[in-house]
Structure 1
């Protein structure tokens, strides 16, 4: 079977650090091209300044991975789908829920695969955590997701603009795990979003959810963390506590602790290949819906100006 010819659109940090190695490590794909108006691309790989240029001049591609900021992703995805090209959406899948729904409908219409790729769901501890929790009573959940924005997103102005999500850019990773491992749906009850006086998106958030059986889920997000970073989910159950740490890579159960390898993007591309070969899509918007609810219902507080 011939490999799937894929182009990466948007050659920033996440593309270079994660997408390129994952594609090159998966024999189901061949990296056919890159696209960016601001980057020279990769040695030995055809590069174009725009998707229009790629589609007009080649090489031919079967799929694209969109690693651009979410605010500009809809038009690129719609353009690719119109050509019957399969589309991988980096998280978050779009700037709004409505545009993701429109893309999903378009993909179904043209018979192309659309993949809303939540990389944290493929962390080593997530699948066993989901299986362990399936038969447990959930009493309480605590999510602590604190990191240093200057380390992970230096100088990225788009992330502070409307649609860029602010601290929910990393926070949505935690929600992608929680919506996947917890056995019941949950919804927002209260939220406080903290916005720097010079930014349009929050630098911190405190959120309270409740699942359909009444269990409370508290979420603490902060982009001002220095020193060790915190990416932890603790679930109190009738069989004792479960803890996912290091973004889901380490699972601690009453019976012991398991450490996993970094397999997130390898898992994503394995899933994308399976979807393409099977003629299916995977577009889960639950994590983005919870973020949208935070902006819809959350109270705003203003804090000191933030500068990189």
Structure 2
């Protein structure tokens, strides 16, 4: 079978650091073109936007949309209308409601729409889900703190409406949380810190619960310097389970259970190939719904200006 011919739309940091190496490692798919305002790659056809890619570019079967979330809905709609399979970087869009017509369009065309949550493909996530299915959860504490200047240098879109601010990394924690817990949770409180000169939060403190009442607390912050923190601690009736380093490690009461190399993006593309072969979609909006709830319930405070 011929490999899936893929074009990347949006050649930014995440595409260069993660998508391109992952595609090269994945059987059954190959990168054949780039559409980006920021230039292309040597040896591949390059176009400034998805419309010119589809009109003038080489034959393609699928697109990976790595652009800022504010413009993904329109790009995905164009690609689906052209009969292409579509992979969405996280978050899948700027709003929840804009994604529903895309889901229906993919269904109508028997096409694949894949909303990726890369952190769910971390090595500790599946074992943690299996463990929590068998042991009672008493409390969850999430600490997700990183330096925005390191991970999003000069990316003004992240501070604009729809850019999510600190929820851009924080949604990774929520994607893991909603995948490993045996029952759904709902937001009960949110405190959002907005720089005086920005339209998206730089920090957030959240509280969730479920029908049984156990607490889930999450602290997100974009102002961390030095070592970065991406940890989820779950108190259970069998001890403390810790997913560390964004889900790369897993321990129980300090005893290491999992510590494998990162393979999130190769696993994403493996899943994309499988979905296309099965003519299926995979679009879970739960993490984005929790972020939307945080903006609905959030008590806003103003903090000092942020300058990149």
Same fold by TM-score greater than 0.5? yes
Alpha-carbon shift at residue 256 of structure 1 (Å)? 2.5
Alpha-carbon shift at residue 234 of structure 1 (Å)? 0.2
Question: Runs of 4 or more off by more than 6 Å in structure 1?
Answer: none
Q: What count of residue pairs does the alignment treat as equivalent?
A: 307
Alpha-carbon shift at residue 254 of structure 1 (Å)? 3.8
Q: Is the 8 A contact 2:7 2:63 kept in 1?
A: yes
Output aligned runs, 1:68-107, within 5 Å: 68-107=67-106
Please name the residue that 1:33 is paired with. 33
Q: Is the 8 A contact 1:93 1:117 kept in 2?
A: yes
Q: Secondary structure at the match of 1:247?
A: coil
Alpha-carbon shift at residue 173 of structure 1 (Å)? 0.1
Structure 2: distance between partners of 1:152 and 1:255: 29
Alpha-carbon shift at residue 255 of structure 1 (Å)? 7.9
Output aligned runs, 1:47-196, within 5 Å: 47-196=46-195
Please name the residue that 2:301 is paired with. 301
Structure 2: distance between partners of 1:154 and 1:4: 32
Please name the residue that 2:259 is paired with. 259
Q: Is the 8 A contact 1:84 1:111 kept in 2?
A: no
Cα deviation per residue 1:51-110 (whole Å; 9 max; x = unaligned)? 111111120110000000000001100000001100000000000001111111111011
Cα deviation per residue 1:265-284 (whole Å; 9 max; x = unaligned)? 01100111000000000000
Extract unaligned runs of 5+ from structure 1: none
Q: Is the 8 A contact 1:197 1:305 kept in 2?
A: yes
Q: Secondary structure at the match of 2:246?
A: helix
Structure 2: distance between partners of 1:222 and 1:266: 28
Structure 1: distance between partners of 2:160 and 2:214: 34
Instruction: Kindly report the root-mean-square deviation, in angstroms, between the aligned alpha carbons of the 2 structures.
Output: 0.8
Structure 1: distance between partners of 2:177 and 2:247: 10
Alpha-carbon shift at residue 212 of structure 1 (Å)? 2.0
Please name the residue that 2:24 is paired with. 24
Structure 2: distance between partners of 1:299 and 1:83: 43
Output aligned runs, 1:142-291, within 5 Å: 142-254=141-253, 256-257=255-256, 258-291=258-291
Structure 2: distance between partners of 1:50 and 1:256: 49
| TM-score relative to the length of structure 2 | 0.98
Alpha-carbon shift at residue 37 of structure 1 (Å)? 1.8
| TM-score relative to the length of structure 1 | 0.98
Structure 2: distance between partners of 1:197 and 1:58: 44
Structure 1: distance between partners of 2:186 and 2:7: 37
Q: Is the 8 A contact 2:12 2:38 kept in 1?
A: no
Matched, 1:5 2:35: no
Cα deviation per residue 1:225-277 (whole Å; 9 max; x = unaligned)? 01100000000000111000100000012482121111100110011100000
Alpha-carbon shift at residue 194 of structure 1 (Å)? 0.2
Structure 2: distance between partners of 1:196 and 1:167: 11
Cα deviation per residue 1:188-213 (whole Å; 9 max; x = unaligned)? 00010000000000000011000221
Alpha-carbon shift at residue 38 of structure 1 (Å)? 2.2
